[in-house]
Chains A and B, each alone.
Chain A
Amino acid sequence: KQEVTQIPAALSVPEGENLVLNCSFTDSAIYNLQWFRQDPGKGLTSLLLIQSSQREQTSGRLNASLDKSSGRSTLYIAASQPGDSATYLCAAPASGTYKYIFGTGTRLKVLA
């Protein structure tokens, strides 16, 4: 059974700092893993998708890595800005199904 955990639950950093958000999953037989951003009261915006055959994906200041053997993914945000303040969620598929299992998210606050 797939379980997804995100640590830390909340993070507050000064503007300009580089930071890492962590995502752990229990079933390593995944086809892909997605990172999302959610602003308060809004839907989810897809940030990065990593296929199981990949180790990293980059988009602008964001870099996501995937290590299936250890059941971990990290989202690296470079030179953080106040506009990056949001909740970041990771989601991994449940084996043999069409559904994604989500973590509870990391609530990020970047202070100006």
Chain B
Amino acid sequence: DAGVTQSPTHLIKTRGQQVTLRCSPKSGHDTVSWYQQALGQGPQFIFQYYEEEERQRGNFPDRFSGHQFPNYSSELNVNALLLGDSALYLCASSLVGTGMSGPSPLHFGNGTRLTVT
């Protein structure tokens, strides 16, 4: 049973460039969330996708955008990269939660380490 897979593992980009990160959810999961983790910090919620739409967004600028495909896989795009975007980007998959039961447990991939120079 494949878990959450992310690609690439590492990425080095220059300020101002654009980057796309990819995620395949755990088998049977239909919801994908993206988190940014700076060094020494806990992960920060970027957004969540369900049914190919952005379901909720955290406090991140519009430079961060995403997409979910019919097979539930997802992409995170970051435009006009800044030095401060250097971080570990984590994808988490889950089953859809509802307002009554709250968010479902998260299963994480190994992340993509993005370095912006």
The interface of chain A, by Cβ under 8 A from chain B, is: 4, 30-32, 34, 36, 41-46, 49, 89, 91, 93, 96-105
Contact = CB atoms under 8 A, between A and B. Distances in A.
Given A31-B103, A97-B103, A99-B103, A43 B110 contact: yes
A30 B90 contact: no
A44 B43 contact: yes
A96 to B, nearest CB: 7
13 contacts: A32-B103, A32-B105, A43-B4, A46-B106, A46-B107, A89-B43, A97-B56, A98-B97, A99-B33, A102-B42, A104-B40, A104-B41, A104-B42
Contacts, number: 69
Contacts of A103: 42
Contacts of B40: 104
Interface of B: 4, 6, 31, 33, 35, 40-45, 48, 55-56, 58, 88, 90, 92, 97, 99, 101-103, 105-111, 113
A93 B40 CA distance: 21
Contacts of A102: 35, 42-44
Nearest to A4: B42
Contact of A34 (B42, B45, B88, B106): B106
A101 B113 CA distance: 21
A101 B42 CA distance: 8
